[in-house]
Amino acid sequence: MSDLFLGQPEHSGAPAADTRSSRRATDRRLRRRRRHRRGGIALALTVLLLVGAGYVVWSYVVPMFSGSQRAVADYPGPGQGEVRVIIKAGDTGATIGSTLAANGVVASTGAFTRAALDNPQAPSIQPGTYTLQLAMSGVGAVAALLDPANRVQLKVTIAEGLRVTQILEKINGVTGIAISDLQHAAADPKALGVPAAAGGNLEGWLFPATYEYEPGTDPVDILASMVTKTIAVLDERQVAPADRETVLIKASLVEKEGKLDVDRGKVARVIVNRLDRGMTLGMDSTLAFGLNKSGLALTASDLESDSAYNTRKRIGLPPGPIASPGLPSIDAVLKPTPGPWLFFVTVNPDTGETRFTDKYSEHLQNQALYQQWLAKHG
């Protein structure tokens, strides 16, 4: 009986196994068909995307770079006339091209961008103001922007020994900025970067040098660059912030009194020696500054003035610099020439010959030589 039970399942189970195998095969065929359909759809989409991308590149990108598929308006060049164009920091090639086209320099933005793409130096075009011609070719415009000679920069040269009012006049003459605008900027030394130790006095802080500015530069930026230069020069010479104003005051005296660079160290020493002895400096240059006069225009009554800058009557340094000193004068103050001198006088203004002494009697003789020069030259 047990054999019959065991044999019965063997007889009835064979069809079931065949059914399961059939189903599994069917499932595999269905899965293969679905994968095939999905692969076909993906392939079709990829082809469409590639075709679409190719169309975009062919229709838009290629013409933009090569200009081979679409005509780009361009002038034959070389150009004529003159126009100023401003290239701003951060401008892209397309922006520059648009600016040039708007100003009549090139015929179209594309003329410039196409030429720029063909010139490996084009990325080095600098922001600034340029003088260009009208009706230039794209190639010519790129070359012009790469030529430093076409960049407009205003050069302002500040000579040593000028006071603030004279410096403002110089800037006005070169840049055309109104004196009133320059005076307004100069009236706020703190905004220009002048340290608090200067007591709000701009005098002496506008370093004498040659500066280059873009047309339209703000007056504050112009003056601030000169202040920055002064601070940089003092920092290079390791002048402590607390000593900057004193150094500039002394250097401004040396600048106005010393006629030759070889004498500046001696003038600086005279200042040190007289201050150490509690003597007045007795310099007409300080009084002339305080009275806003030329040193040659001082009168006997001026010498008795109560001006804070009258170093004939007041002991010590004047309250501030009297001019913008140059490097030789600053260096002379930092390293005065060793010597006992207490007096000096320029006996020949034509040659700058200056005589130094520590004896008052010799000083009187030197003064007599100067008087002789005055009598001879009127």
pLDDT tens string 48-75: 444 444 333 323 333 333 334 467 899 9
76-85, 159-168, 200-209 — which is least confidently predicted?
76-85
**Claim to verify: residue 141 and residue 163 sit in the same structural domain:** no
The dihedral region occupied by 229, where left means phi > 0, alpha psi between -120 and 50, and beta the remainder, is alpha
**Claim to verify: residue 272 and residue 296 sit in the same structural domain:** yes
Return the higher-pLDDT residue of 332 and 46.
332
**Claim to verify: residue 252 and residue 311 sit in the same structural domain:** yes
**Claim to verify: residue 185 and residue 161 sit in the same structural domain:** yes
**Claim to verify: residue 222 and residue 276 sit in the same structural domain:** no
Give residues with Cβ within 8 angstroms of 75, minimum separation 6. Answer: 106, 107, 111, 135, 136, 137
Average pLDDT over residues 243-247: 97
Please, are residues 364 and 269 in contact by the beta-carbon 8 Å criterion? no
CA distances from 245 to 207, 316, 346 (A): 13, 14, 27
Domain-embedded: residue 114:
yes
**Claim to verify: residue 202 and residue 282 sit in the same structural domain:** no
Domain-embedded: residue 176:
yes
Q: Which stretches of 119-260 are DSSP H helices? A: 138-146, 164-175, 179-186, 219-236, 244-257
| pLDDT surpassing 60 at residue 14 | no
19-33, 291-305, 310-324 — which is least confidently predicted?
19-33
Whole-model pTM: value is 0.73
| pLDDT surpassing 60 at residue 139 | yes
Domain-embedded: residue 164:
yes
Helix axes 164-175, 219-236, angle to 10 degrees: 130
The enclosing domain of 137 has a CATH number of: 3.30.1490.480
**Claim to verify: residue 253 and residue 357 sit in the same structural domain:** yes
**Claim to verify: residue 245 and residue 370 sit in the same structural domain:** yes
What does the pLDDT read at residue 275? 97
What does the pLDDT read at residue 245? 97
Domain-embedded: residue 27:
no
* Length of the chain, in residues: 378
Domain-embedded: residue 75:
no
| pLDDT surpassing 60 at residue 218 | yes
297 pLDDT tier (thresholds 50, 70, 90): confident
**Claim to verify: residue 167 and residue 207 sit in the same structural domain:** yes
Domain-embedded: residue 249:
yes
Domain-embedded: residue 65:
no
| pLDDT surpassing 80 at residue 23 | no
**Residue 225 structural domain:** 154-236
Domain-embedded: residue 353:
yes
How many Å separate Cα 321 from the centre of its chain?
26
Residue-wise pLDDT tens digits, 92-103:
999 999 999 999
Q: Write out the H or E segment, with its range, that includes residue 81.
A: strand 80-87
d(Cα 134, Cα 150) in Å, to the nearest integer?
Answer: 14
**Claim to verify: residue 354 and residue 247 sit in the same structural domain:** yes
15-19, 255-259, 303-307, 326-330 — which is least confidently predicted?
15-19
**Claim to verify: residue 175 and residue 131 sit in the same structural domain:** no
Number of domains present in the structure of the chain: 3
Domain boundary at 133, 152, 171, which? Answer: 152
d(Cα 11, Cα 260) in Å, to the nearest integer?
Answer: 130
Domain boundary at 236, 259, 279, which? Answer: 236
**Claim to verify: residue 221 and residue 259 sit in the same structural domain:** no
Domain boundary at 152, 167, 198, which? Answer: 152
